[in-house]
Amino acid sequence: MRYPIGDVARSLGVTHAGLHYFEKQGVVEPTRGEMTRRTYSVQDFIRLVSYRKYRNMEMPLKVIAGQFSQEGDPFPVIQERVARQAEQAGQMAQRYLHLAEDTEWFSRHIAMALRQMGQIDFALMPSLYLLSVGEEGCISGKKQEQQMISRWLSEMPATRVSVIAEEEGKGRYGYTVSERRAEELELTEQPARRIEGKNCVHTFTRVTEKLFEQPELAFASVRQVMREQGLVQDGLAIAVILCVHSHGEKVDPLLEVYVPFRQWAVGAGNPVQNKGGNGDVFISKQDE
């Protein structure tokens, strides 16, 4: 029994043009009937099913076509090729597991930001690795540093665009990755540096597009509360840019802010109060 091209194409989920391509490559030899209509045998169909199998393994079209040609590859060559595809599939599976993990982090923290916007609390900033090079921290004029930035950006969303500031100093940009993911992705080489996790004054905040000219604005609300309560910054402050909302000509970056502190300043008042709600203060362990 023979089957028309439309039945074969729909069963395989390919176009007529796709079947014509494999005919030209010698994968199948359909019979032409009236008005040059092509029909296919069961053998043709099984060969095309095998093609679909190899395509699902993401083998290149030319490789598959060559395998089914009259001068096709012997079984040992096919086995070696399939083994390579299996290895690549395993690597892709691991990559997508990490992609799901890193994307879920952003989803979860944006949801937290929407619930806790403007609230001030204490939180443990996890240890991370930081890359900040060039005049503004996010781009450099040096080729070696450009290559390093490109390497880090290739691992987004594990890599997070961030704002950093020394004690009461001017802000600059950088890229952060959790310590665990940085080690997995081999992003620990200099000029990247490790930042030890610390207890921090913590908040979620929205700022204006002025942030891009004055990155220290990321820390304005937290620093104001710290001054009121007599807290002193101790170490590098870090604000992760979770997302940016554009509406009209306005741009609103959404940030998660961590500012470490070392002691109560002289004449300190009461402990930091939760400015967004009921005045509760808590220390929580933030995930990576």
How many domains is the chain partitioned into structurally?
2
Q: What range does the domain containing 26 cover?
A: 3-72
Rg (CA), the chain: 29
The model's confidence at residue 101, banded by pLDDT at 50, 70 and 90, is very high
Residue 27's CB is within 10 A of a number of other CB atoms, namely: 21
CATH number at residue 190: 3.20.80
pLDDT, residue 216, reads 93
Is 81 inside any structural domain? no
Q: Is 50 exceeded by the pLDDT of residue 279?
A: no
- Using CA atoms, how far residue 98 sits from 91, 101, 149, in Å, is 11, 5, 20
pLDDT, residue 266, reads 53
Same domain (yes/no): 171, 218: yes
Phi, psi of 250 (to 5 degrees): -95, 150
Phi, psi of 233 (to 5 degrees): -65, 135
Q: Say what percent of the chain tops pLDDT 70.
A: 87
The model's confidence at residue 286, banded by pLDDT at 50, 70 and 90, is low
Measure the CA–CA gap between 214 and 197, rounded to whole angstroms.
Answer: 25
Same domain (yes/no): 261, 147: yes
Is 79 inside any structural domain? no
More confident residue, 67 or 285: 67
Same domain (yes/no): 12, 122: no
Q: Is 90 exceeded by the pLDDT of residue 187?
A: yes
State whether residue 233 is helix, strand or coil. Answer: strand
Same domain (yes/no): 61, 107: no
Is 86 inside any structural domain? no
More confident residue, 272 or 72: 72
Alpha helices in 117-203 (DSSP H): 143-153, 179-185
Tokens of 9: 């194409």
Query: pLDDT (tens digit, 9 = 90+) per residue, 31-66?
Result: 887 666 889 999 999 988 988 898 889 888 788 877
Same domain (yes/no): 134, 266: yes
Measure the CA–CA gap between 129 and 183, rounded to whole angstroms.
Answer: 9
Q: Which residues contact 40 (CB under 8 A, 6 or more apart)?
A: 2, 3, 4, 5, 8, 28, 30, 31, 48
Same domain (yes/no): 113, 146: yes
The model's confidence at residue 276, banded by pLDDT at 50, 70 and 90, is very low
Measure the CA–CA gap between 106 and 118, rounded to whole angstroms.
Answer: 18
| The last residue of a domain, from among 57, 72, 87 | 72
CATH number at residue 24: 1.10.1660.10
